[in-house]
Amino acid sequence: MVRAGTTVDLPADDGDAAARGRIPYRPVTDRGTLQEASMPQLEVDGAALTYDDEGPRDAADSPLVLVHGWTANRHRWDHQAAHFSARRRVIRLDLRGHGESTGAGVPTIAHLARDVVALLDHLGVERCVLAGHSMGGMIAQTVALAHPTRVERLVLVGTTGRMTYSRGRGLLMAASTLVPFRLFVAANIQRAFAPGYPREEIRAHIRASAATPREVVMTLYGAMRAFDVLDRAGEISVPTLIVHGYHDVQLPLRQVLRLAKACPDAVVRVLDAGHELPLEKPAELTGALESFLSAKP
């Protein structure tokens, strides 16, 4: 059952991409080089983390920190960054081994959470609104649990508090790691989009994901499968927005409703999309975030 306060946008005819506000694929240059010479980096435990720090530093509102998901990069949040940086400080990074950041894979989501906290420390951010998509949502939950005073509000997009599989699905996922790497990536990225998403754009995202080093992809795949903070979700006392795709088969809707039930101050938005909400429904996601941040605590 969907909780009180939940808004559900049921499937409908979307119209063209421009009407949906979808942004095009943003490529990243060859690994180890920067698209812009001025792009700042932070060295953390052998990794050089590339990040953007945009918007007014003297804004009354707390900074918005955006964390992308597995095999993606900080440009997943282009629509939200462009919208909110006009009046609020917006920070986003490429996680280690992703996009324009260097570094090897790490065995747990907690390691990635420490990278995010290190960046906040480096930038002098004591308290923020923390948003994460997919694996980034796992990171955001980990930060909120480990450093509750540093998170003012939490936004969880297409994520879960516990990776749960049926026996058949678990066996299928284990077997998928045995196929050639590019096929493994293609299978996972293909199914992340709702039916009808343009195939040429999906192929572009598959190519970008496959450019992420194999060791990083596979190590973090294991970290996500081991992720489980559901029993601690009740400790997340800050206002929490959970946005999920109606067609998400990567992390089915029932998983996020279980997480919402455990969080004491959570509201759920369900959009007509798959797992890749920042790509499939950028304008709707921005609108949901705007409404959430505009509401009085």
* In contact, 199 and 219? CB cutoff 8 Å: no
Q: How far apart are CA 100 and CA 195, in angstroms?
A: 30
- Helix, strand, or coil here: 53? strand
Looking up tokens 């088969």, which residue turns up?
Answer: 249
pLDDT digits (tens, 9 = 90+) for 215-261: 999 999 999 999 999 999 999 999 999 999 999 998 999 989 999 99
Per cent of the chain over pLDDT 90 is: 76
**Given this model, what pLDDT does residue 169 score?**
54
**Given this model, what pLDDT does residue 14 score?**
38
3-state helix, strand, coil in the chain (%, to 5): 40, 15, 40
Q: What band does 187 get if pLDDT is binned at 50, 70 and 90?
A: confident
* In contact, 100 and 108? CB cutoff 8 Å: no
Beta pairing, strands 64-67 & 128-133? parallel
**Given this model, what pLDDT does residue 289 score?**
98
What pTM, to 2 d.p., does this model score? 0.87
**Given this model, what pLDDT does residue 178 score?**
77
- CA distances to 41, 95, 157, 175, 250 from 278, rounded to whole Å, are 24, 17, 9, 29, 15
Residue 176 has pLDDT above 50, yes or no: yes
Lowest-confidence segment of 48-62, 95-109, 183-197, 270-284 by average pLDDT = 183-197
**Dihedral sign for Cα atoms in the order 251, 257, 258, 261:** positive
Q: How far apart are CA 265 and CA 201, in angstroms?
A: 36
Q: What band does 39 get if pLDDT is binned at 50, 70 and 90?
A: confident
pLDDT digits (tens, 9 = 90+) for 104-120: 999 999 999 999 999 99
What is the Rg, in whole angstroms, of the alpha carbon atoms belonging to the chain? 18
Q: What band does 179 get if pLDDT is binned at 50, 70 and 90?
A: confident
**Given this model, what pLDDT does residue 175 score?**
65
Burial status of residue 42 (CB atoms within 10 A of its CB: 0-12, 13-18, 19 or more):
middle
**Given this model, what pLDDT does residue 186 score?**
92
**Given this model, what pLDDT does residue 172 score?**
56
Average pLDDT over residues 277-282: 98
Q: What band does 296 get if pLDDT is binned at 50, 70 and 90?
A: confident
Residue 83 has pLDDT above 70, yes or no: yes
* In contact, 133 and 65? CB cutoff 8 Å: no
Report CA dihedral (12, 17, 20, 23) to the nearest 10 degrees. Answer: 140
Most confident of 15-29, 153-167, 173-187, 212-226: 212-226
Residue 7 has pLDDT above 60, yes or no: no
